[in-house]
């Protein structure tokens, strides 16, 4: 199977400036995630906060395929709303990776293999 046909995962790790966490979380939950989930090919999104270490924030996006990252609607988000532009100076340490699903289809567990 060609990578372009596989499901994909976008992972974004980033930091937020001290004192801006409340607005950052509100912006991410109320605007940033919904904008992306409205784009064709975005199936789901989750957010996480690190127990320790940095970057403190992680967002994962399940994608139908890599094509989700090339749609006109997704690419238009780069411009950003007024709220997005307000938040940009207060986030940093951005690490962004895209992965393709290499999971072998699972079959029912029938017990340990005997060799």
Q: Which domains are assigned to the chain?
A: 13-100 (3.30.70.100)
| 55 upstream amide cis, omega within 30 of 0 | yes
Verdict on whether the full-model pTM lies above 0.75: yes
Average pLDDT, the chain: 94
Q: Which residues pair with 9 in a beta bridge?
A: 62, 99
Give how far Cα 88 sits from Cα of 28, 30, 47, 70, Å. 12, 16, 18, 22
Tens-digit pLDDT profile for residues 58-102: 999 999 999 999 999 999 999 999 999 999 999 999 999 999 999
Q: How would residue 5 be classed by pLDDT, with cut points 50, 70 and 90? A: confident
* pLDDT score for 105: 77
Which single residue is written with the structure tokens 């997704």? 74
If you ran DSSP here, which 8-state letter would residue 50 be given?
Answer: -
Asked if residues 30 and 87 have their Cβ atoms less than 8 Å apart, the reply is no
Taking the C-alpha atoms of residue 54 and residue 94, their distance in angstroms, rounded to an integer, is 11
Q: Residue 109: pLDDT above 80?
A: no
Q: Residue 18: pLDDT above 90?
A: yes
Q: What angle do CA 61, 44, 80 make, to 5 degrees?
A: 60
């Amino acid at each position: 199977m060609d990578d372009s046909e596989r499901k994909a995962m976008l992972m974004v790790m980033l930091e937020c400036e001290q004192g801006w966490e409340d607005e950052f979380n509100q912006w991410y939950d109320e605007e940033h995630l919904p904008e992306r989930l409205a784009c064709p090919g975005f199936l789901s999104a989750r957010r996480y906060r690190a127990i320790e270490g940095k970057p403190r924030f992680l967002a994962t996006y399940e994608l139908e395929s890599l094509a989700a990252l090339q749609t006109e609607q997704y690419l238009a988000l780069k411009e950003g709303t007024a709220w997005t532009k307000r938040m940009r100076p207060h986030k940093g340490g951005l690490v962004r990776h895209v992965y393709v699903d290499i999971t072998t289809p699972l079959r029912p567990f029938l017990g340990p293999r005997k060799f």
